């Protein structure tokens, strides 16, 4: 892979650590070059106090921002997540002295705190090889989050259906269970210009967490048709088909896009959840699955993916499918997404909620 390094300022310790990461990338035969030379990822050297972003030309370029903190603050997770958004990064790597170093003024002992867009927040003692093995699988991932709309939704589905009514009902219950946070207020962090850039790259103007989908067979549209919540909306307040709820009729994996059926009047900026590829793959492979719920929560005893792939990538979808194949009953189970949450399958939403009530752990455990 080709990569570039963007130096927005200077910081001796951060830059020394950056050089170790760069040398590790070169050791593994990655090529350091300029941003215009077909790069795959960027190491963006910036700061928490004055975070700068790299204006990537396509979503296929991954941005890893490296910053330094004198010490972890009480709200360090929030600080790192805000830095992630300000820098429009896929991952923020924050260097900070470990507790022993800070307390005893010992030099040279540092932690790397990793923050992901999905809410992952984990850390480990700095080791250039460990950092390399953290970022490279992400840099090699492929997003599948585009949408292609067709105004061919049969009129009988323009307002509601029994499945749509079920989705509205159970989305509200997720909110009551405390595992469906309201959308992140991007406009409190990003300028309108940056939000426009974010929409151009990822077709999203907001962040929200968790999603639901349910199969509804519509023969004139295809064999694997299902409803799914849209991205960036409050899932507890679903009201309109073609805006908060969309019908997926197929998926083009080569182009990385969901084929979406909408009524003649629909929100042209609406986009289905970034997890659409994962859900479509599950429905296609396991015909007995009638509904899927994704939450940023946890359950005891679940199998878990090994790599922290970003939401909306084909690699995450494939790994979730692999985990499901390893369970006793893939069509009625739950698997964990590392440092992220759960994907839960069932024959219907009622079955899923019957199984998860009282069992969800709101705090997702973090693993290195």
pLDDT digits (tens, 9 = 90+) for 233-271: 888 889 999 999 999 999 999 999 999 999 999 999 999
Q: Considering the domain 2-139 in this protein, what is its CATH number?
A: 3.40.50.10300
Helix (H) or strand (E) holding 149: strand 146-150
* pLDDT value at residue 177: 87
- pLDDT of residue 103 exceeding 50, the answer is no
Q: How confident is the model at residue 206 (pLDDT cuts 50, 70, 90)?
A: low
Which residues in 134-170 are b (16+ Cβ under 10 Å) and which e? bbbebbebebbbbbebeeebeeebbeebebbebbbeb
* pLDDT value at residue 102: 47
Contact 37, 44 (CB under 8 A): no
**Fold of the CATH domain 146-356:** L-fuculose-1-phosphate Aldolase (3.40.225)
Average pLDDT across the chain, whole number: 91
Residue 243, helix vs strand vs coil:
coil
* pLDDT value at residue 93: 98
Q: How confident is the model at residue 368 (pLDDT cuts 50, 70, 90)?
A: confident
Contact 40, 61 (CB under 8 A): yes
Q: How confident is the model at residue 150 (pLDDT cuts 50, 70, 90)?
A: very high
- pLDDT of residue 107 exceeding 60, the answer is no
* pLDDT value at residue 184: 67
Q: How confident is the model at residue 108 (pLDDT cuts 50, 70, 90)?
A: low
Over residues 302-331, the pLDDT tens digits come to 999 998 899 999 999 999 999 999 999 999
Over residues 32-44, the pLDDT tens digits come to 999 999 999 999 9
Share of the chain above pLDDT 90, in %: 78
* pLDDT value at residue 105: 41
Instruction: Tell the residue number behind the tokens 């009625």, with chain if given.
Output: 332
Count Cβ atoms below 10 Å from residue 322 Cβ, excluding itself: 13
pTM metric for this prediction: 0.92
Which comes out higher in pLDDT, residue 180 or 351?
351
**DSSP alpha helix (H) spans, 203-292:** 276-285
Give strand ranges (E) for 208-355. Answer: 211-215, 226-229, 245-252, 257-261, 291-295, 303-304, 334-337, 341-346
- pLDDT of residue 29 exceeding 80, the answer is yes
- pLDDT of residue 76 exceeding 80, the answer is yes
* pLDDT value at residue 99: 66
Break the chain into its structural domains and give their ranges.
2-139, 146-356
Distance CA 217, CA 235 (A): 23
Q: What are phi and psi of 184, to 5 degrees?
A: -70, 130
């Amino acid at each position: 892979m080709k990569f570039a390094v963007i130096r927005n300022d200077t910081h001796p310790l951060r830059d020394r650590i950056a050089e170790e990461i760069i040398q590790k990338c070169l050791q593994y035969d990655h090529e350091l070059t300029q941003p215009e030379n077909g790069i795959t990822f960027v190491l963006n050297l910036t700061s928490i106090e004055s975070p700068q972003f790299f204006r990537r030309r396509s979503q296929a370029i991954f941005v890893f921002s490296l910053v330094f903190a004198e010490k972890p603050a009480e709200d360090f997770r929030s600080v790192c997540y805000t830095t992630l958004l300000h820098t429009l990064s896929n991952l923020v790597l924050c260097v900070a002295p470990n507790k022993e170093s800070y307390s005893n003024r010992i030099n040279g002992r540092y932690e790397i705190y990793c923050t992901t867009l999905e809410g992952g927040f984990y850390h480990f003692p700095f080791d250039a090889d460990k950092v390399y093995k953290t970022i490279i699988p992400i840099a090699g991932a492929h997003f599948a989050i585009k949408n292609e709309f067709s105004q061919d939704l049969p009129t009988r589905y323009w307002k509601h259906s029994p499945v749509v009514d079920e989705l509205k009902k159970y989305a509200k219950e997720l909110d009551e269970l405390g595992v469906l946070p309201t959308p992140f207020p991007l406009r409190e962090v990003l300028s309108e210009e940056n939000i426009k850039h974010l929409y151009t790259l990822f077709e999203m103007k907001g962040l929200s967490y968790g999603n639901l989908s349910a199969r509804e067979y519509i023969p004139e549209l295809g064999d694997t048709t299902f409803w799914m919540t849209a991205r960036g909306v409050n899932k507890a307040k679903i009201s309109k088909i073609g805006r908060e709820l969309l019908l997926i009729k197929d998926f083009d994996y080569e182009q990385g896009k969901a084929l979406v059926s909408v009524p003649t009047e629909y929100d042209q900026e609406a986009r289905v959840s970034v997890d659409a590829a994962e859900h479509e793959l599950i429905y296609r492979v396991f015909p007995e699955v009638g509904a899927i719920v994704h939450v940023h929560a946890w359950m005891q005893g679940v199998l878990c993916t090994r790599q922290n792939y970003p939401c909306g990538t084909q690699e995450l979808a494939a790994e979730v499918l692999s985990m499901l194949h390893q369970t006793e009953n893939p069509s009625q189970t739950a698997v964990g997404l590392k440092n992220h949450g759960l994907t839960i399958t069932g024959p219907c939403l009622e079955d899923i909620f019957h199984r998860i009530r009282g069992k969800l752990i709101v705090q997702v455990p973090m693993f290195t």
